[in-house]
A = this chain, B = another copy of it.
Amino acid sequence: MLNSRTPSVKDVAAAAGVSLGTVSNVMNRPEVVSARTRERVERAMAELGFVRNESARQLRAGTSRTLAYVMLDGTNPFFHDVAQGIELAAEDADLSLFICNSNSRAEREEAHLDRLLQQRVQGILITPVNSEAPYLYDLTRRGVPLVIVDRRRDDESCCSVAVDDVHGGRVAIEHLVEQGHARVAFIGGPESIGQVRERLQGAREVWAELGLPADDLIFLPTDALTVAEGRSAGERLAGLPARRRPTAAFCANDLLALGLLQQGIGAGLRVPDDLAIVGFDDIEFAAAAAVPLTSVRQPRQELGRAAAQLVLDEATNPDHEHQQLFFTPELVARASSRAR
* Contact in complex: B64, A262 (CB < 8 Å): no
CA distance A112 to B52 in the complex (A): 14
Does A179 sit at the interface, judged by CB under 8 A?
no
B284/A227 in contact, CB under 8 A? yes
Which residue, A49, A54, A83, A335, has most C-beta atoms of chain B within 10 A? A54
Cα(A147)–Cα(B171), bound, Å: 48
Contact A118:B51 (CB < 8 A) given known A74-B80, A101-B84, A227-B284: yes
| Chain B minimum-CB-distance residue to A265 | B290
Does A115 reach chain B (CB closer than 8 Å)? yes
A25 within 8 A of B: no
Q: Which of A50-85 contact B (CB under 8 A)?
A: 51-56, 58-59, 64, 74-75, 77, 80, 83-84
How many angstroms from the CA of A64 to the CA of B55 in the assembled complex? 9
Asked if A258 is at the interface of the complex by the 8 Å CB criterion, the answer is: yes
Q: How far is the CA of A99 from the CA of B83 in the complex (A)?
A: 11
Complex contacts, A119 vs chain B, CB 8 Å: 54-55, 96
- Asked if A284 contacts B59 (CB within 8 A), the reply is no
Q: At the interface, yes or no: A98 with Cβ under 8 Å from chain B?
A: yes
Per a CB cutoff under 8 Å, which of B54, B75, B117 touches A284?
B75
Quick check: is A196 within 8 A (CB to CB) of the other chain?
Answer: no
Minimum C-beta distance from A293 to chain B (A)? 11
- Whether A115 contacts B96 by the Cβ 8 Å rule is yes
- A326 contacts B by Cβ under 8 Å: no
Residues of B within 8 Å of A118, CB to CB, are: 51-54
Q: Which of the residues B4, B115, B141 comes within 8 Å of A143, measured between beta carbons?
A: B4
Q: Does residue A32 face the partner (Cβ distance < 8 Å to B)?
A: no
C-alpha spacing A267/B64, complex, angstroms: 54
Given A4-B143, A51-B117, 20 more pairs with CB closer than 8 A:
A1-B141, A53-B120, A54-B119, A54-B120, A55-B58, A74-B83, A75-B80, A75-B284, A77-B77, A87-B101, A96-B98, A96-B115, A98-B98, A98-B99, A259-B288, A261-B290, A262-B292, A266-B292, A266-B335, A285-B285
A–B Cβ pairs within 8 angstroms, 13 of them:
A6-B142, A49-B142, A54-B119, A55-B55, A55-B59, A55-B64, A59-B59, A96-B98, A255-B288, A258-B285, A258-B288, A262-B292, A265-B291
Q: Could you list which residues of chain A lie within 8 angstroms of chain B, going by C-beta atoms? A: 1, 4, 6, 49, 51-56, 58-59, 64, 74-75, 77, 80, 83-84, 87, 96, 98-99, 101, 114-115, 117-120, 141-143, 227, 255, 258-259, 261-262, 265-266, 284-285, 288-292, 335
Across chains A and B, which 6 residue pairs bring their CB atoms closest together, nearest first? A290-B290, A54-B118, A55-B58, A55-B55, A227-B288, A55-B59
